Amino acid sequence: MELHIFLAVLVAALLHASWNLLVKLDLDRFLALLLISCVMGLMGVAMLAFFPWPKAESYPYLLASGLLHTGYNIFLARSYRTGDLSQVYPIARGTAPLLTFIGAWGLAGETVTGLGALGILLLVSGIWLTARPGAKTIRLDGLTLFFALGTSAFIAAYTLVDGFGARLSGSASAYAGMLFVLDGLFMVIAALVTRGPRAFAQVLPSWKSGVTGALLSAGAYWIVIWAMSLAPVAAVAALRETSILFVMLMSAYFLKEKVTGFRLLGATLIVLGAVALRLA
């Protein structure tokens, strides 16, 4: 992976970690995701005013990705309802790179070097070690695990769709803008069906936090879409999950959370995995 792409994906991971650390919405998880998706949709409209529209060949990918992102939001909201953040987030994010790697190889024939495959496996192993709870009292029921792993499947699916769709679009930025619009539109429909019009009245008081979260989230995924149009999808998907390492470091520094030996080992594997992907 070329250095400028490698560094850009690390910036995307940092933006994603910052969003998870800094944005504290006084809403349930579904409404928080609705607010962020709506703001990102407006950002997408603005982006399409500056970039040429994506080529027609990418439209099926955009439609599929918009639906997959909505499924991801619904599954993530459900998993957070009964699961602990420190477990659900790493499970969802940590399983996705491996699924993406299998999908990119099996469905599209995308090849990854031996060193690149090693880097992906190191990253996934490190993420799961980092997610290991420090207290035996923390439990994850079967239904919550189902939705967390389902979230991971959605992440892998939309990553593959966006990786190949962006390459057909002619402009990764235009593809990202259109995707943000569709994501916002589908989330509005999902909110109307499941919560009714009152959902929008509930999110308005938190619009400032929503704008912050949308800027960080949109910036992170915009970079990722651009990177996947130039580099192997599986490698980018794995490298962006270094966000979990950033979350751990920020939590230890700002929130004074305890860093266990397993988390230090996991962090080391994540760093080694990132180095392997850079050298691949």
Q: Given this model, what pLDDT does residue 38 score?
A: 92
Distance (Å, whole) CA 192 – CA 280? 46
Q: Given this model, what pLDDT does residue 131 score?
A: 63
What DSSP letter does each residue of 161-206 carry, written as one string?
HHHHHHHHHS-HHHHHHHHHHHHHHHHHHHHHHHT-THHHHHHGGG
What value does the mean pLDDT take over residues 135-151? 72
The kind and range of the H/E element at 215 are helix 207-228
Confidence grade of residue 193 (pLDDT, cut at 50, 70, 90): very high
Task: Tell me: pLDDT of 46 over 90.
Answer: yes
| pLDDT tens digits along 217-233 | 899 999 999 999 998 88
Task: Tell me: pLDDT of 139 over 60.
Answer: no
What value does the mean pLDDT take over residues 229-246? 83
What value does the mean pLDDT take over residues 11-20? 83
CB 227 within 8 Å of CB 9: yes
More confident residue, 137 or 235: 235
Q: Given this model, what pLDDT does residue 90 score?
A: 72
Task: Tell me: pLDDT of 173 over 60.
Answer: yes
Q: Given this model, what pLDDT does residue 203 score?
A: 86
Confidence grade of residue 9 (pLDDT, cut at 50, 70, 90): very high
Task: Tell me: pLDDT of 137 over 50.
Answer: no
What value does the mean pLDDT take over residues 25-40? 82
Distance (Å, whole) CA 210 – CA 165? 27
Measured at the alpha carbon of residue 34, what is the angle toward residues 28 and 35, in degrees to the nearest 5? 90
| pLDDT tens digits along 150-171 | 988 999 899 999 999 999 999 9
What value does the mean pLDDT take over residues 261-273? 79
The kind and range of the H/E element at 10 are helix 3-22
What value does the mean pLDDT take over residues 60-65? 97
* Listed residue (119, 131, 132) closest to 271, CA to CA: 119
More confident residue, 219 or 261: 219
| pLDDT tens digits along 73-130 | 899 888 877 766 666 767 777 777 778 877 887 776 676 678 878 888 888 788 777 6
Percent of the chain scoring above 90 in pLDDT = 36
Distance (Å, whole) CA 121 – CA 280? 13
pLDDT mean across residues, the chain = 83
- Residue 220 CB partners (closer than 8 Å, separation 6+): 12, 13, 15, 16, 19, 240
